[in-house]
Chains A and B, each alone.
Chain A
């Protein structure tokens, strides 16, 4: 690992910490740490909103028959649960990490475009309000599924227009955030901080930012075509007018597959910081990790139609997408081996961040394997649109991205707040999350294999037991997250003082050069990295 010289004078930084007070500190903020904090709190709020929607879904599915909600409302819940969790919770959470950490890890004073950074964040609350307001539009929320497939989306009520507008705004926010991250990493590294000395987290975000710039306009195009089909007489997705609804699926998934990696790659970055720190060893195969991540990013553009094997395509195309998808597992597998090799013969300790990172490693691998199962065309034809798919992507999104976000939050809370969280409660949070996550989602594999379709409010009697187990797990998982909220608030208010280098195995600049909590302005004079 890189050796760092020139320890910074901490008093010097504190001297300049003239924070504006009151609400304007946040509204007009150009400070990367404040904006990062807002991103993280926003994403947690959205996580709770999306979580409540999930619990409405699981309540209805607790027993067969229609009990609690009407089918239209159920469809709306599945749609907005997906949209809010993907665009409102997971993506902003990792942008929050990026804002907090990238300038500190590369030795820069702030992001490259602080005012654009402010705009990137403040576009999110209006978009979230639009998604929530859509529930109250005439006819209720658009029950079209998070993929917003045509022709359902071209026929849905006014809620669809609010949703399209929300997606446009979220896309703008993501693109601006990405431009900021790319510019910061390429131009503002401290002297001596070469690209190949950067912490893995910065690398993963650089690659993710390029992915975002490449695919968010594609999504914007897809929903704009939906909008013009709805209101301006075009027929992009209308077969009667010479269009094709399958075109929508191709465009959406050309965005949608890289989107999976947009969510997963920053999660890889967080885990690549946490596992070495608690193994007290440098990351095994750092260079190969950089290259594997880049390869995954490039290959993610070439496999999109594995989401639509059953939509109707020639067998040649099915075979191409199947082979390409299977091959993409190779660089991902290399990453898993690298994390395992990092732990090999390390001095392991199992504090909460490490537990969540290990939970990630174990369960994300499982989610990857079910992905491989689904990539096989004849198998997917059976399992398409069943609960097997739901189980698969929740292993990737929840046990993958969310667990990694928890690992990162516990890991950096001491640096962000200057205080330690309660380790015992943190471990409780991990074990409760791990157990209830599996209770919720593992049984969904069986439901899918038995043929239960996704996005249905009612189901046949033979699915009753597993659905009941899954619903109990979902409520347990949801309640466990309130414990997380308590742990974080308790840490901020009354946690023990954290050390400058709380984790002795952590060796990136924010741990070696900055006090805890990190001062409001850091690295106004760049450190010299040897």
Chain B
């Protein structure tokens, strides 16, 4: 890990936190405090955003296939 990190800087977000943040973001909601507490790298947001987008599409397609089955 980077040695430059100091105590007062926000700690790095865990994978779970980024995923949770992105799922809320799809609904357009995010806690303001959360922004100050955790540090999220843009790369994390983009990669998990793309995965979440793919999951979003796949979920809808699955629902559609379930409905039109038979």
Q: Are A335 and B68 in contact (CB under 8 A)?
A: no
Which of A286, A302, A320 contacts B64 (CB under 8 A)?
A320
Chain A residue at minimal CB-CB distance from B53: A298
Q: Are B60 and A292 in contact (CB under 8 A)?
A: no
Residues of B within 8 A of A294 (CB): 25, 49
Q: Are B57 and A295 in contact (CB under 8 A)?
A: no
Q: Mark A312-351, 1 if CB is under 8 A from B, else 0.
A: 0001100110011001001111110000000000000000
Which of B25, B31, B32, B67 contacts A292 (CB under 8 A)?
B25
> How far apart sit A294 and B67, CA to CA, in the bound complex (Å)?
30
Q: Are B28 and A334 in contact (CB under 8 A)?
A: yes
| Interface size grouping (class) on chain B | 20 to 34
Chain A residue at minimal CB-CB distance from B21: A291
Chain A residue at minimal CB-CB distance from B42: A195
Q: Mark A278-302, 1 if CB is under 8 A from B, else 0.
A: 0000000111110110111011001
Which of B27, B57, B68 contacts A316 (CB under 8 A)?
B68
Which of B56, B63, B68 contacts A315 (CB under 8 A)?
B68
Q: Are B26 and A331 in contact (CB under 8 A)?
A: yes
Q: Are A324 and B60 in contact (CB under 8 A)?
A: yes
Q: A196-B35, A287-B32 are in contact. Are A331 and B57 (CB under 8 A)?
A: no
> How far apart sit A335 and B30, CA to CA, in the bound complex (Å)?
12
Q: Are A286 and B32 in contact (CB under 8 A)?
A: yes
Q: Is the interface of A mostly helix, strand, loop or mixed?
A: helix
B29 interface hit (Cβ, 8 Å): yes
B15 interface hit (Cβ, 8 Å): no
Q: Are A319 and B64 in contact (CB under 8 A)?
A: yes
> How far apart sit A320 and B58, CA to CA, in the bound complex (Å)?
10
B5 interface hit (Cβ, 8 Å): no
Residues of B within 8 A of A324 (CB): 56-57, 60
Q: Are B53 and A302 in contact (CB under 8 A)?
A: yes
> How far apart sit A319 and B53, CA to CA, in the bound complex (Å)?
18
Q: A287-B35, A302-B57, A324-B57 are in contact. Are A319 and B25 (CB under 8 A)?
A: no
Residues of A within 8 A of B25 (CB): 288, 291-292, 294-295
Could you tell me the distance in whole angstroms from the C-beta of B25 to the nearest C-beta in chain A? 4
Q: Are B30 and A287 in contact (CB under 8 A)?
A: yes
| Interface size grouping (class) on chain A | 20 to 34
> How far apart sit A294 and B26, CA to CA, in the bound complex (Å)?
8
B55 interface hit (Cβ, 8 Å): no
Q: Are A320 and B60 in contact (CB under 8 A)?
A: yes
> How far apart sit A327 and B28, CA to CA, in the bound complex (Å)?
12
Chain B residue at minimal CB-CB distance from A196: B35
Q: Which one of A288, A294, A331 has the greatest number of beta carbons of chain B within 10 Å?
A: A288
Could you tell me the distance in whole angstroms from the C-beta of A296 to the nearest C-beta in chain B? 8
Q: A302-B53, A316-B68 are in contact. Are A292 and B35 (CB under 8 A)?
A: no
Residues of A within 8 A of B61 (CB): 316, 320
Residues of B within 8 A of A298 (CB): 49, 53
Q: Are B28 and A288 in contact (CB under 8 A)?
A: yes
B65 interface hit (Cβ, 8 Å): yes
> How far apart sit A324 and B61, CA to CA, in the bound complex (Å)?
10
Chain A residue at minimal CB-CB distance from B35: A287
Could you tell me the distance in whole angstroms from the C-beta of B57 to the nearest C-beta in chain A? 6
Chain B residue at minimal CB-CB distance from A289: B28
> How far apart sit A324 and B53, CA to CA, in the bound complex (Å)?
11
Q: Are B30 and A291 in contact (CB under 8 A)?
A: yes
> How far apart sit A324 and B49, CA to CA, in the bound complex (Å)?
16
Which of A287, A289, A320, A330 contacts B27 (CB under 8 A)?
A330
Chain B residue at minimal CB-CB distance from A296: B28
Could you tell me the distance in whole angstroms from the C-beta of B66 to the nearest C-beta in chain A? 10
Residues of A within 8 A of B26 (CB): 295, 299, 330-331
Please list 15 pairs of residues, one from A and one from B, whose beta carbons are closer than 8 Å in the complex, sorted by A's number. Answer: A287-B35, A291-B25, A291-B28, A292-B28, A294-B25, A296-B28, A316-B61, A316-B68, A319-B68, A323-B60, A324-B60, A327-B60, A330-B26, A330-B28, A334-B28
Besides A288-B28, A324-B60, A327-B56, 6 new A-B residue pairs in contact (Cβ under 8 A), listed by A number: A285-B30, A292-B29, A302-B53, A316-B68, A330-B28, A331-B28
A interface vs B, CB < 8 Å?
196, 285-289, 291-292, 294-296, 298-299, 302, 315-316, 319-320, 323-324, 327, 330-335
Please give me the 4 A-B residue pairs with the lowest Cβ-Cβ distance, nearest first.
A292-B28, A334-B28, A331-B28, A291-B25
